[in-house]
Each structure stands twice: as C-alpha cells, then as structure tokens.
A and B are shown apart, each in its own frame.
Chain A
Amino acid sequence: MFAYVTRRVLTTIPLMIIALYVVFIGVSLTNDPLGNFYLCLPRCQEGYDRIVEVYNLDVSIWVRPFYWFSDALTGDLGDSSALGLPVSEVILNRGKNTAILAIPAFLISATVALMLSVYSARRQYTVGDYFFTTLSFIGLAFPSFVLALVIQNIFGVQTEKWFGIKPFNTGRMSGDGFFPLLRDMALPLLTLTILSISADSRFGRASMLETLGQDYIRTARAKGLPERRVVWKHALRNSLIPLVTLWALTLSALLSGSIVTESIFSWPGLGPAFLQALGDTDLDLILGIVLFTGVLTVLFNLIADVMYGVLDPRIRLN
C-alpha cells in the first residue's frame, strides 16, 4: 500500500505543476493589473512602476510562473493583494471557516442520504419512496444560488414578518460563542446539506437497489436471516463502494469552499476568498487556493481508494 500511495503522490506532482502553470498563464492573459493605471498616466507613473515591480510585469509572461514556483518550494505562497494577508494565512483561516460548515454538512448529508437510500431501496415505489424522490429532484433542480436565496429569504427575513420571531440571521459569521455560531451557520448548513442529500440519496438508492438484487442477498434471505441484518450487514457494505467515490469528491469540494453558498450567506470561507481573488486578479491567492484544492482532491481520492480495499476484500492495493 505504501508503494501505491507513493506512486500516486509522485504522479500527481507534475500534474499539479502543469495545472498551476496553466492557471497562472490563463489568469495573466485575461487580466491586466495595470488596467486602471493607463487612465491616469503620466501623473501616476510612480504607482504604475510599483505595480510592474510587484507583479514582475517586466518579465516575460511565460517566465513569471517560475518566480512563484521557486517561492512556493520554500513554503512561501506569497501575499494576497485582495485580502492583505499572507496566502498561507488566508488558506488557514478561511479554510477553517469553510471546514466549520463543510464537515457538519458532509456528516449530516452523508448520514441522512444513506438512511434515505436504504429506506427508498427497501420500499421502492411506495408513497414514501416517491415523496423522498420528489424532494431529491426538487433539490437537484434548484440552482444552488436560488436555493440559498430562497432559504435566506424565508428563514432570515420572512419568519420575522410572519411570526414575529427571528431565529436566524441572513448571513455572516458573527457569532461569539457556540450557540450564536450555530445560529449563524444554520442557514448555509441547511443549503449545503439539501444540495448534497439530493444528489447522494439518488446515487445511494440506485446502488442499494442493485445490491439488493444480487444472488447472495437472495440466499441470505432464503437462509432466514432477519431483513435488518441482510440490509445493514450484507447489502450496505457493498452498496457503499460507489458512494465512497462520490463522498470523496463531495468532501474535497466542500472543503475547497462553496463559492455560491458562502458568498450569499457572507460566510468568510475559501469560496468568497477565491471569488474576490478572481475579481481582483490576486494571482498569488488564486494559485494558493488551486494548490490547496488539488491537494485535497488527491488526498480524498487516495482515501477513497484505501476505503475500497476496506469495504471489499477482493480489492487489494499492491
């Protein structure tokens, strides 16, 4: 297994370098940090010269990424011009805020989706199955920004008008203490879990249905095993394999920051930071977040690969 993991990591490094190089060139070609200075020359020549110096604009665009690479190798990801902090500090602080939302969202959505999958698969074509299927489709049909705004409007604005109580804020991570924090994260958490449950439950239902149709399940039933044991001990484990792949991607995506949900709820996570970096052409922060996202994706995919072996003894990593 160690060799496998090592091989995977070593293979990823050149891919990451290529990806980062492409991102650097792409962003540089489509954005000009001197854009606003053309309008005030020559009186702002001093400012113009400073920007040229800070962004190495006097160097060929094809060579500039290597300045970043050489700093990154020493652990220096540069400073974020959009947020006024070292990039590593931004990723740490904003990543922590994102994790505060992402981890509970993942745990809740994975648990609920799993339970819904089992229920829907065992009670296929019943009223309950249709009900949850409908809810899933509604959740899938809603664009994330629409869902977030609807939830924000209903629970953040309208509840006070309808009932005279205001249980939630419309956004911001302003809570000082556990319960205020819970209050602030409730709505973005609800949004993220709805989106994840909608997708995961459909996937899980299909996987569980396929597993329940296998011969060994029929054999287990024929042997007289309790249905609960058949489902939870024998079928669930095998139906989890495709779900694990989905969960690996979901968790890495959640931890990379939900641009839409975090922006709408003004949650100071990696999502709005990345958005601001794009808007302000903050190259250092863009590259730092891309690197962080890449590492997360590789890591969780590796974990998924390992989990396959745990779930299915037939799969072993050499």
Chain B
Amino acid sequence: MNTQRRGRKVLAFAAATAIVLAACGSDDDGDSGETDTTTEGTGGTEGTDGTDGTDAPVDGADGGTLIWAHEQEPPDLHLDDPENNLSIVSWIRSPLIEGLYGVSGSTEYYPELLDGEAELVENEDGTVTANYTLRDGLVWSDGDDLTADDVKWTYDTIMAADGEDEDGNPAYIYLLGSRQGLDTITDFTVTSPTEFSVTWSEFFAGWKGVLNEIYPSHVFNEDPALAAAELNENLRDWTTPAGETIPSSGPMLFDSWEKGVQMNLVTNEGYHGSNSPDATNKGVPSIDGVQINFVTDTDAQINALRAGEAQIVMTQPQLEFEDLAASEDFTVSSSAGPVYEHWGLNVLNPHLSKPEVREALALAMNKAEVMEGLYTPLFGDSLPAEGLGNTYWLSNQSPYVDNAGNAGYGKGDVEAAAAALESAGYTLNGDGVYEHPEDGVLSLRVGTTGGNRLREIQQELIQAQMKAAGIDIVIDNVPGADYFGAQPFSEDALLCASSGGAEGNCDVWDIAQFAWVGGPWPGGNSPNFSTTIGESPYGYTSEEFDAKAIECDATIDDDARATCYNELDAYVTTLTVDPNGLFLLPITQKPSFYGYTSTLATAGVAPDAQGAGPLTNVGDFQFAG
C-alpha cells in the first residue's frame, strides 16, 4: 500500500509540474537578444526593421484605439496640486494642453505654440522683456481661437491671490508648488491676438519653462481669482464649470475616466498641428483615440501586451521586461531618462572632509561596470557606457560635457585612488582597508531608499569596487521615502550642513545615494548644491560657487549660459576649479523603458520628462495595415 501511495504522489507531482511548465512556456521565437534602441541624442525610436521610427509609414492604416497599459493611476488631473505631482498626470495632459514651449526627446525646449523663439531684450533698468508671437491658426478643440488673451488669462489666474497669508506673502488661490519665474514678472502686455510681451524684474534663466500649459479662458470665469478656484476644482476631472470637457489645444481630447479601470482620450479632429522636432506627423493623429488601462502589476502588463490587450508601455526599467525585449513581437525603444543616480558626499564627515578621500572615491568608482551590471544588456547604447559625468547637463542634451570623466573619474582607477589616500596620510591596515592615524578606519556608510532593488544592486556593485580600493562601504538604507527625512534632509543633518558643523549632528549620514532630476533648464540644481543659496545637505560652502551660480542664472545667451553651467558643474564633480569641491559623484542616468507591440507600424518618440511622455508625439502612432 505504501508503494501505491508513493506512486500516486509521484503522478500527482508530475501532473502539477506539467501544468506549470505549460503555462510558463511562452514564445517560441528565436532569442536574437537584440533590442531596438533610440538613436543617440534625439531620443527617436527605431522600427523593428531598424529604420528610424520617424520615417513615413509604409504599411500603416488609419484608425484604431491605441491602448497604453500603465501601472499608476492619478488621483485626479490637477497636476499643480502639491498633493499630486505625479509624472503620469503630466504625461496624460501633454496631448491635451499645450504651452508656449514643449520638451523634446533630447530634453530641450522647442517653441510649441510659438512661431519661433521669443525675442529677449535687456532693458536699461535691469529688467528683461521677452517678446512672444503665437503661431497663426491656433484653435481650441471647440473651435474657439487660442490667442494671447488666453496666455495672459492663464498667468493672471495662476497669480491670483486672496489677500496675504500670516507671513505677509500673497495667499495664492490656484494650487501650485512653486511660482519661481512667475513671481518676478512685473509686466504682461498683450499687443495683438498673437503677440504679447512679458517683463521680468531680473532675468530668469528658466523662463522657457513658465506657462508650459495654457488654459482656455473662454470656458472659465473672466475674473482670475474666481477662475483660480474653478480650476482647482475642475481640473481634477477635466471638466468646465458647465460640466463639459475642457477644450483641448493638443492632438487629443479627454473623453471619459472609469476610475480604477481606464481613461479614454479621443482624437482632436480640429488640431492645429505640432511643432515638435521629433514628430513626423505633426497634424491630426491617425488613430481614433487612446485608452489608458491601469494595470498595476508588471507581469500583468506583460501578459496584456502578449495578449494584444495593450500596445505600449512606458515605465521604470524592470528585470521582467528582458524577455519581452527579446521577442520579435515587441520593440523596445529606450532612451536616456531625466533622472540620474549619484553619490552625494557629506563633506563634514571627518574622512570626507579631505578632498583626497573624495577624489579616491571618484577614482575608484567604475561607472562602466555599473552600467554593464544594470542597464547595458537591456538598453544597449541608449545610455553612454561610461556613465554620467555631469550634474547639470544630461548625456542626451547638446551642451553635455563629461567633466568627471575628463578628470579621470569613474574608470575604476584603483591605483590612483590608493595614491590619493596615501597622500592624505592613510595606510592599509591588516584588513585591507585604509586607515588614518587620527580619523581611524576609512569606513563610510552609504544610504538610500531601501526596497528599490535596482538601487540596492548599484550600491552592492560600487561597494565591491571600493573594497578593491581599500575603502570600506557599509550599506545603511532606510525604507522608502522616509530615507530623506531620516538621513540627509533630517533637521540635525541640515543644521550641521548649514552651520559648517558647528550645530546639529554631522554623523547622521556619510554618503547619500538617490536621484536628482534633470531637465531643459538645469539652473534649478544650484540651490541643491550650496548651503548658502539653498537647503543643501552636502555641507559645501563656496562664495565662488554661489557667485558663479548667480552669474550663470543671469546669463541671457543660451549658449553662454550652457557653458557657464558646465563650468559650475566642475565645482561639484571635480577638483579642477575648487580644490575643496568634488562632493557629488554622478553615476548614471536611468533609462526610460518604452516599448510597443508589432501591431503598430510606427510609434512616436516618447520623451521621458515632466510634461512630455509617450503621447507627446501621438500623431506618429499608427497601426499596421
């Protein structure tokens, strides 16, 4: 009887295994392992036959609903509410509402509603005026003209205030996290339906980023204060006070939203056309609409793609997508994203206060190995193999200079790292770790937002690199978003940083690993790097840096300003300008994973930036014939 029972158990196990194997067996495609990647610098896509995705479609057909599977559903569509600043909201809004400037695949501004670049004029009193001209023929989806009055009304509404708050600041009505660049506007004059001028009290280097979304004044209250309250309410479900859908200035029109399930957009048949440098079809999209399915689980997204229930995904890089990328039924079109990982150094730590130690870390780090370990197999050459070497410009932006790389950093030069440490008085102890006669063993904690597996892998890779250089790295993570308030941005740590170590607690953290976000205007980074012009946790203080930052932000010429930011970056990432600099080690940009199925003949370029996303060039999506 025991033999019988054992035999039956074996049969049962075999049956179970067969079921599992049958379910897990998927593609019988050849594993070429090739993924299509973006062309360098432009963020353009490539078709499965290797041609540029911006070529005119050969086998495309008009019509069809594009289904985008996305894991994150926004709580509402009021992007500017500080409680809701999710990227998905800006990505959904990008084909609905256009602004004066848009963001291209190379993370640079281009005139969208404007007829060419605005003209900047330096006035004698130190103010700066921008003279704008809108394109002819701009029209809302309901047929009303989009004019300069809409632009001014949008500005007035955003800046409408109801008295002052307890600190004497204007009590703004419209919910917005930051009015930087708007609050220094002293004059806004409309001279014709397509011409207007804006004057700032002083030049604001991020001026192209203001008014990046223009609202339709004709469906809201004329009074900006009342309109601001209306927008706070009505933007959430994208309706007008009259209960209608807010008219679009973009290629899509909001249709419906079944919360928890899907959101539907339909094509704006009256679209006035796009100025995007990444688009081939700048006119009315050929698809009928877009359906955004909220699919929270990554594996479920993959199943939805395989089952033909979705055509595109744009998400954080996931290990699960490797198999999909190898499939012939799927095209990976990755690009360099705006987010970059770095190691930030607490220069008030006894070891890290020495420039030689900071330089040793920079020299010992091997960014190519990190890239190889994390991204290269899946994302090919969409990111530079040598990693990122600048904290102001991203690798896909035209002004980018690899300052850190040019200084010899990030190449795993263990010998040079050792030489730097020894020049500072460190010697190797019996454990193979460098030790200072006064400051002790060179052991440094690196912390990050625990639970992020990619970030933890990065830590482990660099930890091993540092060990080879005689630097002991201890991983000290804190779960989730609580990391920032617990370590680098804790009250004690910030007090230490701002007081130069005289107050607070300088021992809260040593090395911080997290991400900064780049963008078309990098000047917003400067306050992050200086304790005097911002709330910087790194403890770096330099009058020269502060003066340079102000100088860069005041430089009106775009090319000169770009060069200035590169010079500023040299303070942050090297010792070439400031022998007490080098407190940030940029590691790598995070790639943006964007993929689509072969049911599409062509797909649009999907800039990974706030205010952009996969629907920015929605006109280029077309189903295969």
Contacts and interface: CB of A to CB of B under 8 A. Distances in A.
Q: Which of A46, A149, A273 has the most CB of B within 10 A?
A: A46
Given A265-B300, A272-B260, A43 B527 contact: yes
Nearest to B11: A134
B262 interface: yes
Nearest to A80: B75
B177 A46 contact: yes
Given A32-B482, A34-B485, A170 B262 contact: no
A266 B179 CA distance: 38
Contact of A94 (B20, B26, B260): B260
B598 to A, nearest CB: 14
Given A32-B482, A35-B481, A153 B261 contact: no
Interface residues of A, number: 62
Contacts of B236: 84
Contact of A169 (B5, B180, B297, B309): B309
Interface stretch (A155-163, A220-228, A231-239, A292-300): A155-163
B299 interface: yes
Contact of B296 (A34, A83, A94, A275): A275
A82 B177 contact: no
A31 B178 contact: no
A170 B175 contact: no
Contacts of B293: 172, 266
A157 B309 CA distance: 10
A171 B304 contact: yes
A47 B177 contact: yes
Given A30-B482, A51-B83, A46 B176 contact: yes
Q: Which of B172, B262, B514 has the most CB of A within 10 A?
A: B262
Contacts of A153: 23-24, 26, 303
A204 B389 CA distance: 65
A51 to B, nearest CB: 6
Interface in B180-198: 180
Interface residues of B, number: 62
Contacts of A63: none
Interface string A13-38: 00000000000000000111011111
Interface string A268-297: 100011011000010000000000000000
A138 interface: yes
Contacts of A42: 527, 534-535
B8 interface: yes
B297 A83 contact: no
B216 to A, nearest CB: 22
A46 B178 CA distance: 6
A3 interface: no
Given A50-B83, A81-B83, A40 B307 contact: no
Contacts of B480: 30-31, 35
Interface in B160-182: 172, 175-180
A51 B488 CA distance: 20
Interface in A194-236: none
Given A42-B534, A134-B12, A171 B300 contact: yes
B484 A172 contact: no
A263 B73 CA distance: 13
B307 A169 contact: yes
Contacts of B74: 84
A115 interface: no
B58 interface: no
Given A97-B260, A156-B303, A169-B307, A38 B534 contact: no
A31 B483 CA distance: 9
A39 interface: yes
A152 B535 CA distance: 49
Given A43-B180, A46-B179, A275-B296, A154 B262 contact: no
Contacts of A160: 307-308
Contacts of A263: 296-297, 300
A93 B260 CA distance: 10
A287 to B, nearest CB: 17
A92 interface: no
Interface string A42-56: 111111101100100
A202 to B, nearest CB: 15
Interface in B37-76: 73-76
Contact of B75 (A40, A44, A83, A93): A83
A66 interface: no
Contacts of B303: 149, 152-153, 156-157, 170-171
A83 B175 CA distance: 18
A81 B85 CA distance: 11
Interface string B283-318: 000000000011111011001101111000000000
B8 A130 contact: yes
Contacts of B176: 46-47
A222 B514 CA distance: 77
Contact of A39 (B73, B83, B484): B484
B205 to A, nearest CB: 13
Interface string A166-207: 100111111000000000000000000000000000000000
A264 interface: yes
Interface of B: 5, 8-9, 12, 15-16, 19-20, 22-24, 26, 73-76, 82-85, 172, 175-180, 236, 259-262, 293-297, 299-300, 303-304, 306-309, 479-486, 488-489, 514, 516, 524, 527-528, 534-535
26 contacts: A30-B479, A34-B484, A35-B483, A39-B514, A40-B178, A44-B82, A47-B178, A51-B82, A54-B83, A80-B75, A81-B83, A81-B84, A94-B260, A130-B8, A130-B12, A138-B16, A154-B23, A160-B307, A171-B295, A263-B297, A263-B300, A264-B297, A266-B293, A266-B295, A268-B261, A272-B260
Q: What 6 A-B pairs have minimum CB-CB distances, sorted nearest first?
A: A268-B260, A47-B177, A35-B481, A84-B75, A47-B82, A134-B12
